[in-house]
Amino acid sequence: MSENPQDKKLLVEVCISPQLYPVYQRANSIVVVIDIFRATSAICTAFQYGVEKMIPVASLEKAAEYKSKGFLVGAERNGMALPGYDFGNSPYGYMTDSIRGKTIVISTTNGTQAIEAAHKAQEVVIGSFLNFSAICAWLKTQNKEVILLCSGWKNRFNMEDMLFAGAVADQLSDAPDYKLGDAALAAKYLFQSAQKNPYRMLHGSSHKERLSKLGLKADIKYCLSLDKTGIIPVLKDGFLVKMG
Amino acid sequence: MSENPQDKKLLVEVCISPQLYPVYQRANSIVVVIDIFRATSAICTAFQYGVEKMIPVASLEKAAEYKSKGFLVGAERNGMALPGYDFGNSPYGYMTDSIRGKTIVISTTNGTQAIEAAHKAQEVVIGSFLNFSAICAWLKTQNKEVILLCSGWKNRFNMEDMLFAGAVADQLSDAPDYKLGDAALAAKYLFQSAQKNPYRMLHGSSHKERLSKLGLKADIKYCLSLDKTGIIPVLKDGFLVKMG
């Protein structure tokens, strides 16, 4: 039997794609779903503006079904809000008091696919730079293994999700109870070298370029801003609700 | 139509797991298979010592079949050479003149799985620090897209393969014809921050720890040494042979 105290530590892993989630899943892990540009940033913003529940759905068929039943629905594919729906995945779309107390269905290119991949995990929470400190502080109280699940872009690695994962890994690695898996270690190093200027590292990254072309530079800037809310959205029986 | 000259550049991507290869595969790409600890390092070493052909097989069933037919076979699982076979995946095992002109079958935990995943690609070559400069120089003459396929550890991200991918991405990004995908960009940044001391970044990485526990520190050091050979092993009809 190993006597290495490292073996008793809680593993923090980064999974860079929803498609790899089955490889990383472990019983009792907390999964933090990350889609910085822009689903998880939009979801955090919606809760900050008082939405009561959100229903994440992976398919547009499901989104259309909810729409036909009279639900408010946000739908995005390939960076664009889809016509005929109430919202896209721009956080700015959710900055309105009219969503207070409402239930909103949301379906996006990447983020809701990641939520779907992880939905059977013991606990699934929504992370973004907008609730960064709240997520980190809460994780440290849980004494559980952590999987930082990057939504990526169509199952590919993307830079901004990895940077956020690295920011969280960096925080957790300061706590004595955690050890970082290789992807978390890499994410932490990436974050540390980006720390002085995340814009520099995102320069040339695919999704930032994609959103810039779509005229969404304000969204990019907002999604990289820290701690706009203390709310942690959490998945309960298929609904995202405010934790606590 | 876009007029962005970036769009005409050749994409360099890093795929961090054989399981994600289907997401990254593109027609006409060159795939560089990477398993630093230790399959691709061992394969490069075998060619340096004059092996004529290697037959990479993913399953142990296949390896046993070849063994029963009288072939020389290298077989490794979980870092250990399997009993009853002629080699494991330590490069040191292949440093013998007795392999000159021979055909050797090889099956490993990760590397041969990656070769199997990519075997239908137009061109599959074997990369390691041991043939780093040869690989980079050759890629630059090819005018093709490049997928740097990390074997990882049981389909998980691992640090040493990502660092090698970053070293190659760093070289290619100096050439005007290439653009880096997000994972290649991240790998390049990682490599750059590790450059002064790759040992530091590997400290705490899972596979280095695993091999250290198995008493394989000399292997680790050798697998991180640069340019021991100018040979590029290439996959032709299921056989690895010396390019050119």
Residue in A with minimal Cα distance to B154: A23
Q: Which of B23, B189, B193 sits opposite A19 (nearest CB)?
A: B23
Identify the band that residue B1 occupies on the pLDDT scale cut at 50, 70 and 90: very low
The number of residues making up chain B comes to: 244
Contact A159 B182 (CB under 8 A): yes
Tens of pLDDT, residues A127-163: 999 999 999 999 999 999 999 999 999 999 999 999 9
Tens of pLDDT, residues A59-112: 999 999 999 999 999 999 999 999 999 999 999 999 999 999 999 999 999 999
Q: What is the pLDDT of residue A1?
A: 40
Task: Look up tokens 């709240």; give the residue.
Answer: A134
How far is A159 from chain B, CA to nearest CA, in Å? 6
Tens of pLDDT, residues A91-104: 999 999 999 999 99
- In this prediction the pTM is 0.94
CA of B169: how far to CAs of A174, B102, B183, in Å?
31, 34, 10
Whole-number average pLDDT of chain B? 94
Tens of pLDDT, residues B44-84: 999 999 999 999 999 999 999 999 999 999 999 999 999 99
Neighbours of B80 (CB within 10 A): 13
DSSP codes, B1-12: ----GGGGSEEE
- According to the per-residue pLDDT averaged within each range, which of B27-31, B206-210, B212-216 is highest? B27-31
Which CATH number describes the domain made up of B9-242? 3.90.1560.10
When pLDDT is averaged across residues B93-103 and rounded to a whole number, the result is: 98
Q: Is this complex's ipTM strictly greater than 0.85?
A: yes
Q: What is the pLDDT of residue A210?
A: 85
List chain A residues with CB under 8 Å of B157: 14, 16, 181-183, 186
Q: Which of A155, A157, A192 sits opposite B182 (nearest CB)?
A: A157
Query: A residues 20-49 near B, CB within 8 Å?
Result: 20, 23-24
Start-end of H helices in chain B: 21-24, 39-48, 60-68, 111-118, 132-140, 159-173, 182-194, 198-202, 206-213, 217-223
Query: A residues 193-222 near B, CB within 8 Å?
Result: 193-194, 201, 204-207, 209
Tens of pLDDT, residues A169-183: 999 998 889 999 999
Distance of alpha carbon B110 from alpha carbon A60, whole angstroms: 37
Contact B14 A157 (CB under 8 A): yes
Asked whether the beta carbons of A155 and B23 are under 8 A apart, the reply is: yes
Q: Kindly report whether the peptide bond that precedes residue B200 is cis, defined as omega within 30 degrees of 0.
A: no
* Chain B interface mutation, best of A2, A157, A160, A164, highest count of B Cβ atoms under 10 Å: A157
